[in-house]
Chain A
Amino acid sequence: MTNLLHVIAQAAPLPINPGAPTNPAAPTAPTTPTAPPFPTVLLTALIFSALACALIILFLPERTKDERGRIRIMGLVGTLIPLLFTLGGLNFQMGQEFSGGTISFEEKHSWIDAFPIHATYHLGVDGISLPLLLLSTVAFTVAAIAAWRNDSRPKLFYVLLLILETGVNGTLCSLDYVLFSVFWAMELVPTFLLISIWGGTRSARAAQRYLVNGAISVALLLGAAMLLAFKSEQGSFDFDLTNTVTLVKAIGYAGFWLTFAAFALRLPVVPLHTWMIDAASEASPAVAFLITSVLTRIGAYGMIRICLGAFPGGAGRFGFVLAVLAVVGTFWGFVGAIGQSDVRRLLAYSTLGQMSVVLLAISVGQAIALNGAVLLMVASGLGTGLLVLLTGTIEDRARTRDLHRLGGLAWQMPRLTALWIAGGLTAIGVPLFAGFAAEFMVFTGSFPVHRWATVLVMLGMLLNTGVLLWTIQRIFFGPAKEAFARIKDATTLELFYLVPLAGLALLLGVFPGRLLPIINNGVLSVVSRVNGGS
């Protein structure tokens, strides 16, 4: 906390390049239509607006109902502002001409200059982070609405939610290892508290597992960052400078495995996946939604950005191992899901299977596969997220999430059934729902490199489809049950956040090509390093 205040205090008065062009590569040709001058504090504002709202909430009382309502509205505002900034940035990017691997909305200020460490306050987004930023800001807004009815300590909840959002958005935007690690570490404590305070009976243990895993991953990440910093000019931790470093093979491999382990703890990769299963099943629905659809994606983002981007040698050398892990992940997720009777654990295992497709794309490290991976992260984040939230609403009504006791719920809740089917079809990648184009691209990219792994992952995905369909049947279909006779269908509030989520998934499925130019622009810089690196 104090660290971050320090960041803000230091960053503001020390602008090194005020008014720097937003796009340093573009203005070489004076004839190209120059972009309208966009304020370069966009990302700072995007990241810290959530924190600012959290600060305001800290000073609001929560004794009466009205006061709690005010806290909720403030929490929603705190998630809406970053969303609006992201949409603005995305809209601006859509109208842009692209040229290889440009970073947009870049901000760079010197930050720490103590002798061995030269960290900068360096923010920027490219095609990899911008779509994920969209996913993250949408997800946090949805989570803020989804927790609306939660009446136990809303103040603490929204403060933690907004701090978590700051951490996630900061991780996606930082271009400096120290800054990245600070934001990465900033996600830990809020998530820990969010899981343990509002979670189920065994949430304390799940939260602790998450925290320990997270702490280890921060340490591993910092270790890898030091590897690069030792080799770069003046011990700089800036992505720009560390990316120019050429590493001896062994050091490159060591760094690759360090960062891979750091992000595999989050992605998750078998056998480091157990925290995710626990956390996703024990946390409250809104938090479980954030864990499965945002936090795991941040792990994959880190893997693409840092494992591939900073240690391309290892990516080329050990791609096969990653592909094998992806295959193990899909089948582990499938078998784990088919044996489950707890809906939330089932979805967690199914997420494990879906993220293995992303891991497969990372193991290849080629343009088309990584484009697909980024698109898939957004798409399946929406699809699986929808399912997790729906499980929450069902659990809320039926007072159980045991598949043996659920059944026939479509009698009482046709709308939620339709939404669940839409979410399920998105998650399994049926054409014209988000994700189908992404999976096709991932497989097209990975097949020439890892043939058998691709075929096996495809088979695993097909089997996952079967599990999700079986789940739909066991929750919703069949004769009506006496115990659920008084259950009501979705409320307006629930439709208010569920329908846009489903709509966005459908929109991405019908127009998958809209985001591709942006994504590709970001993927190119990573790919050129993988191909060029030793």
Chain B
Amino acid sequence: MYNLAWAVVLLPLGGFLFAFLPESPRRAAQVCITFTGAAFVLAMVVLLYRVAHVRDNPYQSMVTFWTFDPGTKLQGGFISDFHAQLGVVVDGLSVVMMAVVAFTSLVIQVYATGFMRRDDGYTRHFGAMVLATFAMLGVVASPNLLQMWIFWGVLGAVAYVLVGHWWQREEAASAARRMLLVTGIGDGALLLALVFLFSKLASSVASLPAAPGQAINDPFNFFTLEKLWPAVMGGHVAGSGPRTLILLSLLLLLAAVAKSALLPLHGWLRGVFEEAPAPVTALLSTVTMTAAGVFLIARIHPLFVATPHVLSVVAVFGAVTAVVGAAVALAQHDIRRLLAWSTTSQFGLMFVALGVGASGAAIFQLVAHAWFKGALILGAGSLVTAYRTTDIREMGGAWQTMRTTSRAMLAAAASAAGVVLLAGFWSLSSITAGVLRNEFPNSGHVSDAVKVVLIVCVALTTLLGAIYPLRMVFTATLGDLPKRRGFQPQRVRELGRRVTGPTALLAVLATVGGFMGVPGVRATFTNFVFSGRPPGTGSAVAGLLVTAVLGLLGANIAWALHRGTIKAPDLGRAGAMLAEGLRIDDAYDWAVHHGLIRHAHLVERVDAVDAEVLDELGQGVALAAERGRRWQIGRVDAVTISAFAGAALVAGAIVLGATGHLPGVGATR
């Protein structure tokens, strides 16, 4: 049954290949949706089978598809430990992620059939969507780091096409380039991690007994390495030690930070939100691009557990990002920027969860986030199309005219805010519970100060995170239709059932889907995802209480802010800085432009001098030969021949010198 996982990964690729066969764009979209739908059905089959049989075999099953074994094909010389494998791993984490990715992509594609209806690049859009789905499924199904790197790279390249969909606009093209370049830092860090890992541990992995059912040991396999980390940490593996692991985990953290758009590499996400079509934004910021970073750390969590210092770095990175993201989001009036910062903030929370050892909670939050943020982004896409503006203050009145969208957005925003019993509440409270419980694997390494910082940050993020999504929905949908010049109220209407349906579906899941992961229960989501590992201990009640109180408090503040019963404090310059996203992107642009591009022409000037010098040198060599020259021919030929002769003289002198034929120079024979 687990062999079906193969089909889950490969079906979207088939969709891509067949999408360009039919003439009509509509057919192409149907092909893509059919293939993604089939992948989703199979993913559900695998998931349910896994759920049913988790007691029999709580560990992973690996299906290897292709093996590169230098031992059989390449004799000697070539590094004999270099085994590359492509395959599919079936464990709790991968089956859940496969189902979520396929499902979300399917829903978003259905939305896109309506939303992108009159777009020129319809076929290209759908082809790239399924290809991105394929790449992400390849990432989540990876049994080893090498395959993950390959699919990361593919994902980035496809996302480049997706984000640059409206390439006619200069800004969209810039956003696509920035996205690929910044996430490319992550790819580069992952590549370096691979190279580093291989040079340090490949021989140790090769000397281990081969895993059952495998002829060879894959040096990048997560599950083989998992058993090796503690030994390396203890210094029992020659040539490596704690420093190896710390460096390795820092590299992986850098890769994840770039891909998940955490501070300070978050800038690309804003471009995606502002310039890409809404379906692309929804796909990239929920289950593919940003999710890949969180997934990487969740997958290789045992490495971080072995290096607890880095684990607390992960948590602090996440906490700072979460608070800053939430604060900046609160200061935004642009709906797309607000959602971008809110995504950054939410992914920061997931990193906090990973950092405190509650990796199940991080994946739970990832899934819930896919639902509520997916609904918010899709709904925002409809709103922006209807109002032809991105400023929420210029919207309003959609509650009557766009009934489904506005209600779906309210439900999703309430879920994001952590209002009691909604999906976001359960996921947030499992993160809070993880932080409060101090689920640090080796908690002795983390100082109390860090714990306090984390708790304060998470509480602050929960409070702020309850205010901004609700305030956004209140401002954008309640009230009356705006009365500005040139505004066409008749345009404020739903885009059709193919657009509202997916939005509503995601909102419904964001409302009721959380019951699969009620924290503290035995057979719960987090215990399934990481089945085989000891489940978290301790009470979850504190987390539930804190989240419930903060969520309801935040919701009330949002309502009061909307009604005007309380006024937002005027922060002056600090508020302006927040509204502009702390100007971090501007600082980068300034540094690149003034530090690099403005002075880059110096290289060419140096090269011109270099060429002159070489010319002189060539002529100098030529002159040396010209002394004995008798014949007269064209200038170019003369220079060339003389250069040849001169160089021959020099070379001959070196030869004679080296062989000892010149007195006093070179080696003795």
Query: Which B residues, 176 to 202, have Cβ-Cβ distances below 8 Å to chain A?
Result: 176-177, 180-181, 184-185, 188, 191-192, 194-196, 198-199
Stretch of B145-153, B431-439, B522-530 with 4 or more beta carbons under 8 angstroms from chain A: B145-153
Interface residue? A14 (CB, 8 A): no
Q: Does A116 contact B (CB under 8 A)?
A: no
In the bound assembly, the distance between CA atoms of A223 and B599 in angstroms comes to: 41
Roughly how many angstroms separate A436 CA and B153 CA in the complex, as a whole number? 9
Pick from A209, A430, A458, A523: contact of B153, CB below 8 A: A430
Q: Are A480 and B651 in contact (CB under 8 A)?
A: no
Question: CB distance B191 to A478 under 8 Å?
Answer: no
- Across the interface, B651 reaches (CB within 8 A) one of A99, A250, A251, A258, namely A258
Q: Mark A392-418, 1 if CB is under 8 A from B, else 0.
A: 000000000000000010110000000
Cα A99 to Cα B75 with chains together (Å): 7
Assess whether A248 is in contact with B669, with CB atoms less than 8 Å apart. Answer: yes
Contact A223 B651 (CB under 8 A): yes
Cβ of B54 < 8 Å from any Cβ of A?
no
Complex: chain B residue closest to A206, CB-CB? B611
Task: For chain B, residues 601 to 655, give those with C-beta under 8 angstroms from any C-beta of chain A.
Answer: 601-604, 607-608, 610-611, 614-615, 618, 621-622, 636, 639-641, 643-648, 650-652, 654-655
User: A200 contacts the other chain (Cβ, under 8 Å)?
Assistant: no
CB of A42 closer than 8 Å to a CB of B: no
- Whether the pair A215, B647 counts as a contact (CB closer than 8 A) is yes
Q: How close is B629's CB to chain A, nearest CB, in angstroms?
A: 15
Instruction: Please state if A408 and B604 are interface contacts (CB–CB under 8 Å).
Output: no
Residues 219-263 of chain A, each 1 if its beta carbon lies under 8 Å from chain B, else 0: 110111011001000000000000000001111011100100000
Whether a CB of chain B sits under 8 angstroms from the CB of A339 is yes
B222 touches A (CB below 8 Å): no
User: Of residues A212, A218, A220, A227, which shows the largest number of chain B Cβ atoms within 10 Å of its Cβ?
Assistant: A212
Sample of 25 A–B contacts (CB below 8 Å): A216-B644, A219-B646, A219-B647, A223-B650, A224-B655, A226-B655, A249-B667, A255-B658, A335-B603, A336-B607, A338-B597, A349-B603, A410-B168, A431-B151, A432-B150, A447-B199, A473-B174, A473-B177, A477-B164, A478-B167, A478-B170, A478-B173, A516-B73, A520-B75, A528-B77
Minimum distance in angstroms from A457 CB to a CB of chain B = 11
Q: Given A209-B614, A432-B154, A516-B73, A466 and B177 touching (CB < 8 A)?
A: yes
Is A455 in contact with B640, judged by CB distance below 8 angstroms? Answer: no
* In contact, A517 and B153 (Cβ under 8 angstroms): no
| Shortest Cβ gap from B347 to chain A (Å) | 23
Chain A CB within 8 A of B657 CB: yes
Q: Which of these, B77, B149, B603, contacts A336 with CB under 8 Å? A: B603
**Is A48 positioned at the interface, with any CB of B under 8 Å from its CB?**
no
* Closest-CB distance, A207 to chain B (whole angstroms): 8
B interface residues with partner A (beta carbon < 8 Å): 68, 73-79, 82, 149-154, 156-157, 160-161, 164, 167-170, 172-174, 176-177, 180-181, 184-185, 188, 191-192, 194-196, 198-199, 596-597, 599-604, 607-608, 610-611, 614-615, 618, 621-622, 636, 639-641, 643-648, 650-652, 654-655, 657-659, 666-667, 669
- Kindly state the separation between the CA atoms of A249 and B641 in the bound complex, as whole angstroms: 32
Interface residue range, chain A: 35 or more
Cα of A89 to Cα of B73 in the assembled complex, Å: 19
Q: Which residues of A contact B152 (CB under 8 A)?
A: 431
- Nearest CB of chain A from residue B198's CB, rounded to whole Å: 6
Task: Report chain A residues within 8 Å CB of B602.
Answer: 339
Do residues B168 and A408 form an inter-chain contact, with CB atoms below 8 A?
A: yes
Within the assembled complex, what's the spacing in Å between the Cα atoms of A461 and B608?
A: 24
* B651 contacts A465, C-beta separation under 8 Å: no
Q: Identify which of A209, A216, A278, A455 gathers the most chain B CB atoms within 10 Å of its CB.
A: A216
Contact present for A431 and B149 (CB under 8 Å): yes
Q: Are A254 and B157 closer than 8 Å at their CB atoms?
A: no
Q: How far is the CA of A223 from the CA of B667 in the complex (A)?
A: 17
In the complex, what's the smallest C-beta–C-beta distance from B606 to chain A, in angstroms?
A: 9
Name the contact of A444 in the complex, choosing from B153, B199, B607, B666 (C-beta under 8 A): B199
Across-interface contacts of A274 in B (CB, < 8 A): 607-608, 610-611, 614
Q: Report yes or no: B647 in contact with A447, Cβ–Cβ below 8 A.
A: no
Do the beta carbons of B647 and A216 come within 8 Å of each other? yes
Q: Closest CB of chain A to B163's CB: distance in Å?
A: 12
B643 contacts A524, C-beta separation under 8 Å: no
Please state if A251 and B658 are interface contacts (CB–CB under 8 Å): yes
A459 at interface by CB-CB < 8 Å: yes
Taking a contact as CB atoms under 8 Å apart, the answer to whether B73 and A454 are in contact is no
Contact A219 B644 (CB under 8 A): yes
Work out how many contacts link A and B, with CB atoms closer than 8 A: 224
Whether A208 and B639, one on each chain, are in contact in the complex, defined by CB atoms closer than 8 angstroms, is: yes
Q: Is A100's beta carbon under 8 Å from chain B?
A: yes
Q: A211-B636, A367-B79, A447-B195 are in contact. Are A462 and B74 (CB under 8 A)?
A: no
A301 interface residue per 8 A CB criterion? no
Interface pair B659/A340, CB less than 8 Å apart: no
Cβ-defined contact, A431 with B154, below 8 A: yes
In the complex, which residue of chain B has the Cβ closest to the Cβ of A520? B74
Chain B residues within an 8 Å CB radius of A338: 596-597, 600
- Contact A459/B639 with A272-B614, A477-B168 known, Cβ cut-off 8 Å: no
B87 shortest CB reach to chain A, Å? 16
In the complex, the chain A residue whose C-beta lies closest to that of B607 is A274
Task: Identify the closest chain B residue to A369 (Cβ).
Answer: B79
- A459 CB to nearest chain B CB (Å): 7
Contact of B195 among A345, A444, A516 (CB under 8 A): A444
Interface residues of A in 500-534 (CB under 8 A from B): 513, 516-517, 520, 523-524, 527-528
Which of A432-491 touch B at CB < 8 Å? 432, 436, 439-440, 443-445, 447-448, 454-455, 458-459, 461-462, 465-466, 469-470, 472-473, 476-480
Q: State whether A215 and B640 are in contact (beta carbons under 8 Å apart), knowing that A332-B603, A425-B157, A430-B154 are contacts in the complex.
A: yes
Distance A209 CA – B601 CA, assembled complex (angstroms): 22
Take A215-B647, A430-B153 as given contacts and tell me if A469 and B177 are in contact as well, using a CB distance cutoff of 8 Å. yes
Shortest beta-carbon distance from B111 to chain A in Å: 26
Least Cβ distance of B120 to chain A in Å? 10
B168, B655, B666: the one contacting A478 at CB < 8 Å is: B168
B188: A residues at CB distance < 8 A: 458-459, 461-462
CB B164 to nearest CB in A, in angstroms, measures 7
Residues from chain A with Cβ under 8 Å of B153 in the complex: 430-432, 436
Candidates B607, B608, B655; contact of A223 at CB < 8 Å = B655
A111 at the interface (CB under 8 A from B): no
Given A335-B603, A338-B600, CB of A443 within 8 Å of CB of B191? yes
Cβ–Cβ < 8 Å partners of A479 in chain B: 168-170
Residues of B within 8 A of A277 (CB): 607
Nearest 10 A-B pairs (CB), nearest first? A223-B651, A339-B600, A219-B647, A477-B173, A250-B667, A431-B153, A254-B658, A215-B644, A274-B611, A219-B648
Q: In this complex, what residue of B is CB-closest to A439?
A: B191
Q: How far is the CA of A524 from the CA of B73 in the complex (A)?
A: 13
- A271 at the B interface (CB under 8 A): yes
Q: Quick check: A251 and B667 within 8 Å, CB to CB?
A: yes
State whether the Cβ of A129 lies closer than 8 Å to any Cβ in chain B: no
**Given A430-B157, A431-B150, A477:B658 Cβ within 8 A:** no
CB-CB under 8 A for A368 and B82, given A277-B607, A473-B174, A517-B73: yes
Per the bound structure, the CA–CA distance linking A274 and B604 in Å amounts to: 10
A340-B604, A371-B78, A479-B168 in contact; A469/B647 too (CB < 8 A)? Answer: no
Which A residues touch B659, using CB under 8 A?
227, 230, 251
Asked if residues B78 and A368 are in contact (CB atoms below 8 Å), the reply is: yes
Decide if A85 is an interface residue (CB 8 Å cutoff).
Answer: no
CB distance from B84 to the nearest CB of A (A): 8
Cα of A516 to Cα of B68 in the assembled complex, Å: 11
A98 within 8 A of B: yes
A218/B644 contact (C-beta < 8 A), A227-B658, A339-B603, A478-B168 known: yes
Q: Which of these, B68, B73, B156, B647, contacts A430 with CB under 8 Å? A: B156
In the assembled complex, how far is the CB of residue A242 from the closest CB belonging to chain B, in whole angstroms? 14
Q: Is A250 in contact with B658, judged by CB distance below 8 angstroms?
A: yes
Among B194, B601, B651: residue with most chain A CB under 10 A: B651
